[in-house]
Amino acid sequence: MKVLKNRLFLLLLRLVVGGVFIWAAVTKIADPLSFAQDVRNYRLVGQSLSFVTAIILPWVELVAGIFLVIGIFPRSSALVISGLLVFFIILVAVTMLRGIDVECGCFGTFSRKADLGLILEDLLWLVMSLVLLFSPENDFCLLKKNS
């Protein structure tokens, strides 16, 4: 596919996907107690694990987003982001199937309801991150080699 080899398109994808993950991380880092409550609202983990998740997850998102934007191990960063998105999609789907009505917690106070629309949106982000993961082109990167 020609678009997978278009270096400017891939750079734009990296900036957009990485930027969204940076924004999401910063909003969670700014208010970890609120994010811990968002995690707890999914009713999958207890209070202690929700606090641990609220501390660690946003930093993983932030580092992966920054690395993707500036081109440090872009494929590895895309792999981490893809894995997070798969997890988020499954989490929202399971929560919906369980009949639990929650805010997603995705963007701190800018979060919205965890619903089918959110799953579809996350699927779109997943497709974009998978394009980056499987793209053979890695121009405009500080570090290209992925180990």
Sign of the four-CA dihedral 42, 66, 9, 80? negative
- Reading the block at residue 64, the tokens are 């992966």
Q: What is the pLDDT of residues 31-78, one digit of tens each?
A: 999 999 999 999 988 888 999 999 999 999 999 999 999 988 889 999
Q: What is the pLDDT of residues 22-31, one digit of tens each?
A: 999 999 999 9
pLDDT band at 6 (very low <50, low <70, confident <90, very high): confident
Asked if the model's pLDDT at residue 3 lies above 90, the reply is: no
**pLDDT above 90 as % of the chain:** 66
d(CA 20, CA 18): 5
Asked if the model's pLDDT at residue 147 lies above 60, the reply is: no
Q: Provide the whole-model pTM.
A: 0.88
